[in-house]
Structure 1
């Protein structure tokens, strides 16, 4: 009879741990299996007249095949616009940040700064517009980054250059 209860306890513990692991794995894999459709937002004519800076997203850590980014970004006086060629590898809880450090290449460059969170990334590819809050001095933010808030990982930085 003792062997029965021991076997039942092992079975229940395995079921609980297996379910927990399965749920955690599901949360991690969901954006890979069911990514949102590409975005097709447009920049307004009022924004387009006030181009401040441009940049290109890069793959900051080439040894990491999951966390990558590419495409152009344009910064206007009131908005950050991810251009139609924008793309990042899928993942959970990505955000768009303005970062007060030039040449962001690692997590410490973002974690140790007073960045401006422009909001959650709405799609892993395509054009997207993010409003810049009132009072933000763009001259103090030479980088735009895509950041995984859930795991504290740099996905892709873009160094900004003044518009001509």
Structure 2
């Protein structure tokens, strides 16, 4: 239980509605995480809106809390651990995710969101698929 409660206690506050609105207004794409993916369950899920722009990616919603979450861009939609492992070499790591009630992360310079179609949240420590969505 400590593995799940520590990240919650250490999580930074969710971004403000104003900050999320700014990211949403600047986004080129909008998509949705939903709980009904093949690899999601009651401990590993995301639900809410994702805003994808060249400078930042924002999320307004809820992720199941856990340690060591990573945000990837993928050229292929994946929805479970096996598909993630199969396609990981084609994915681009964007950022760690430490907030479970929304987040805003910077897209590193040199990453072209147009080369990808999917946002994926993955738990690196446990090799667990959390959620994904197609944005184009």
Same fold (TM over 0.5): yes
Measured at CA, do residues 125 and 137 of structure 1 come closer, stay the same or move farther in structure 2, by a change above 3 Å? Answer: same
Matched ranges for 1:69-108 at <5 A = 69-83=46-60, 86-101=61-76, 103-108=77-82
TM-score by length of 2: 0.79
Q: Which has the higher contact order (CA 8 A, sep 6+)?
A: 2
Unaligned runs of 5+ in 1: 1-24
Q: Is 2:15 the partner of 1:40?
A: yes
Q: Is 2:100 the partner of 1:124?
A: yes
CA contact (8 A) 2:14 2:101 kept: yes
TM-score by length of 1: 0.67
State the number of aligned residues. Answer: 131
CA contact (8 A) 1:31 1:90 kept: no
Matched ranges for 1:24-35 at <5 A = 26=2, 28-31=3-6, 34=9
Deviation at 1:66, TM superposition (A): 0.8
Alignment partner, residue 154 of structure 1: 129
CA RMSD of aligned residues (A): 2.6
Deviation at 1:119, TM superposition (A): 1.7
Three-state SS of the structure 2 residue aligned to 1:64 is coil
Residues 51-99 of structure 1: per-residue CA shift (max 9 Å, x gap):
221110122237721111100001112111112xx10111111111111
CA contact (8 A) 1:99 1:110 kept: no
CA contact (8 A) 1:39 1:122 kept: no
Measured at CA, do residues 48 and 155 of structure 1 come closer, stay the same or move farther in structure 2, by a change above 3 Å? Answer: closer
Measured at CA, do residues 105 and 50 of structure 1 come closer, stay the same or move farther in structure 2, by a change above 3 Å? Answer: same
Highest CA radius of gyration, 1 or 2? 1
